[in-house]
Structure 1
Amino acid sequence: MTLVNFRDPAVLADPDGRWIRPGVLHRSAQPFPAADAAIVDQLRDAGIRTVVDLRGVDEVEAADWSAVEADGVEVVAARIQPTGPALDEAARTMTTAADLGTFYLLMAESAPQAVALAVEAAARPGGVLLHCAAGKDRTGLVTALLLDLLGVPAEEIVADYARTTAALPQIFEGLAVRYRSALNDHRAASLTIPAPLLEAPAGAMTAFLDLIHTRHGGPEAFLTHCGVPADTLTTFRTKAAAATAAAGGAAS
């Protein structure tokens, strides 16, 4: 089974090649149930040489990417834990898409080292795949930061995030099988998942991008705060920026 929710944001977010080169950045959900020959072929065909796993420690199983690693692809663990006192409270009170955007900011702020690791991996040569469990929340916020860094307009970043909506039924089916035991353990506690977390609402990504700019001064300032060196940001831009954008930056 190939990866669910797999796509190159450049293909649909920037079909005219104004901001980002195709083939450098991909996103997906985690493998269901684990990477196999079909996924190995999928990554090889896409030119992916690095996988960035954004899931928390408790979400990972040893076999998830073993077939891909055996094919020479490096897997970088950039763990963004989706829980913690502030995040748990934000999830408990979440009712709107804007609340979900705030939740994304809290996740990013709570894991500066993981965000920095993800960006450093994205700057490596060859195609890079970002993924979490669904390929929606943690994958969405890291992808958004990178696209914003390249100058992709907010409306295109938001549209790329919202494309996950079409894949949600398949994603939730895979997650239900993967985490059936854990979900069953929560029955007595009447586990309730906030409605926005079960969707990919455009308003969530709009809110996240707004917060990155109003609270942190934009993606470059935020990533620098996370510990990403300036030369890494330059390397990523050189690698990922569309040829016309790179030429324009050199001319200026």
Structure 2
Amino acid sequence: MNRRLDLPDLLNARDVGDLPLIGGGVTRTGVLMRSETPDLLTPEGVDRLIHTYRVRHVLDLRSDHEGLPLTEWAGVVRHRLPLLGRRSALAADRAAIGDVSAGQTQGLELDDDIDLGSVDEFGAGLLYMRMAERGRESYVRSLEILAGDGGVPALVHCTAGKDRTGILVALLLSVAGVEREAIIADYTETETHLVEMFERIDRLPRQPRIDPSHPVAPAMRGAARASIDTFLRVLEERHGSAAEFLLKAGAAPDHLESWRRTIRGGTG
């Protein structure tokens, strides 16, 4: 099945339905979609999201002031749920924007406890784990929205729709019981149009640029299997499972169960 959304403005927009579940069955379509920044959307694209894909909630994992100011979409609630961010800007640029979780490393001091040293060896997987632990409140809130009445159909995005978004989608699919290889394949699908997507993103205003000379750049500009594979492995080693990670972060058990029922449909 072609899971890509029919949105010419976006190159990394797809439905996370029709993915195989452990024990049989597939995830439901039309429940959760993922994409790169909707700043790329024309008014026609926004209209298509609302009326064709019936999106009612948009989970925006970008940092405050990253990207264009949010505008109202009729009948849609847009939630700003910053994942990570930075503690301090350089004195010369207090109004700077960006987020290490998007690989945006120019002009700002990085959070002291974000480990970038192992990015090359393990893709971005170890960084993803740290991002998930630091941004757990945003992920718990995302689950709460999706599990609530009228919480879906929903769209989740960040800037490229692969790092911050990739972590959340991997957690949600793991909770739902999607096969590990399918979670990995969904993540790496971003590679298909990666170069052209970044060319489009880099032309946007208010969009921080990654420093190509920074060690984190190759991993944060790619969607390698090693990144999500390492994240899933370390998640299991440290926390047991995605569900246990979210429970420890403060998620309500009934929200986890509600999400499973929603994305699995009639599958047990």
1:29 to 36, 43, 49: 36
Identity of aligned residues (%): 29
Comparing 168-177 with 128-137, greater Cα deviation is found at 168-177
Instruction: Report if aligned partners of 1:8, 1:23 keep a CA contact under 8 Å in 2.
Output: yes
Residue 192 of structure 1 and its aligned partner are, at CA, apart by 5.7
Map of 1:113 onto structure 2? 137
Answer yes or no: is 1:2 the counterpart of 2:9. yes
Q: Label 1:74 to 1:180 Cα distance change in 2 as closer, same or farther (>3 A).
A: closer
Q: Residue 136 of structure 1: SS of its match in structure 2?
A: coil
Q: Residue 209 of structure 1: SS of its match in structure 2?
A: helix
User: Match for 1:71: what amino acid?
Assistant: A
Instruction: Report if aligned partners of 2:33, 2:155 keep a CA contact under 8 Å in 1.
Output: yes
Map of 1:14 onto structure 2? 20
Residue 151 of structure 1 and its aligned partner are, at CA, apart by 0.6
Map of 1:240 onto structure 2? 263
2:154 to 128, 152, 164: 128
Instruction: Report if aligned partners of 1:32, 1:174 keep a CA contact under 8 Å in 2.
Output: no
Note the residue ranges of structure 2 that are not aligned, 5 or more in a row. Answer: 1-7, 85-98, 101-110
Instruction: Report if aligned partners of 1:10, 1:22 keep a CA contact under 8 Å in 2.
Output: yes
Instruction: Report if aligned partners of 1:49, 1:72 keep a CA contact under 8 Å in 2.
Output: yes
Answer yes or no: is 1:76 the counterpart of 2:55. no
Instruction: Report if aligned partners of 2:140, 2:250 keep a CA contact under 8 Å in 1.
Output: yes
Q: Label 1:183 to 1:133 Cα distance change in 2 as closer, same or farther (>3 A).
A: closer
Instruction: Report if aligned partners of 1:76, 1:121 keep a CA contact under 8 Å in 2.
Output: no
Map of 1:85 onto structure 2? 112
Instruction: Report if aligned partners of 1:136, 1:200 keep a CA contact under 8 Å in 2.
Output: yes
Q: TM-score, structure 1 length as denominator?
A: 0.83
Q: Distance in 1 between matches of 2:154 and 2:171?
A: 15
Instruction: Report if aligned partners of 1:3, 1:32 keep a CA contact under 8 Å in 2.
Output: no
Q: Distance in 1 between matches of 2:234 and 2:207?
A: 36
Q: Label 1:30 to 1:44 Cα distance change in 2 as closer, same or farther (>3 A).
A: same
Answer yes or no: is 1:162 the counterpart of 2:191. no
Q: CA RMSD in A?
A: 2.5
Q: Label 1:99 to 1:50 Cα distance change in 2 as closer, same or farther (>3 A).
A: same
Instruction: Report if aligned partners of 1:19, 1:150 keep a CA contact under 8 Å in 2.
Output: no
Instruction: Report if aligned partners of 1:3, 1:39 keep a CA contact under 8 Å in 2.
Output: no
Instruction: Report if aligned partners of 1:18, 1:244 keep a CA contact under 8 Å in 2.
Output: yes
Q: Label 1:70 to 1:39 Cα distance change in 2 as closer, same or farther (>3 A).
A: closer
Q: Residue 103 of structure 1: SS of its match in structure 2?
A: helix
Q: Distance in 2 between matches of 1:193 and 1:43?
A: 36
Comparing 164-173 with 190-199, greater Cα deviation is found at 190-199
Q: Distance in 2 between matches of 1:36 and 1:169?
A: 24
Q: TM-score, structure 2 length as denominator?
A: 0.79
Deviation string, structure 1 residues 139-168 (Cα, Å, up to 9, x no partner): 101000000001101100000000000121
Q: Distance in 1 between matches of 2:15 and 2:207?
A: 33
Instruction: Report if aligned partners of 2:40, 2:201 keep a CA contact under 8 Å in 1.
Output: no
Over 4 Å off, 4+ runs: 179-182, 190-193
Q: Distance in 2 between matches of 1:8 and 1:155?
A: 17
Give the structure with the higher percent helix.
1
